Amino acid sequence: MSDHSERDLQSEVTDLEKKSATAARLFDIRRIIGGLFVVYGVIVTIAGITASDAEIDKAVGVNINLWTGLGMLALGLFFLGWLWLRPLPPTVPDTPAEEQPPPTAE
């Protein structure tokens, strides 16, 4: 009976490790920062495209919303590209001592 419960426990631990790895990839800080910068960058860029001449004159002739929005878009895309090029490595579960192969004599 204890052998059955040991297998159940090992199965639950394996399932939790898989869920933990999935959550780590889902909530990677690069994804959150990149996504927020892209969303806000789109909003600020649209505000810059639709800016009136009076708003541009307030900023001494510079369309600050347009340039800031484009910068935010670039930074957000950088973070998302970094995430895509270098994803988190999959976690390797530790094998219990009883499942490890015996050392070989050399």
CA separation, residue 72 to residues 29, 48, 51, 52, 69 (Å): 16, 13, 17, 21, 5
Give the pLDDT confidence score for residue 4 in this predicted structure. 65
Helix or strand run (H / E) with residue 83? helix 64-85
User: Phi and psi for 94 in degrees, rounded to 5?
Assistant: -70, 135
Confidence grade of residue 24 (pLDDT, cut at 50, 70, 90)? low
> Is 57's pLDDT higher than 60?
yes
Per-residue DSSP letter, 86:
S
Q: Are 103 and 54 in contact (CB under 8 A)?
A: no
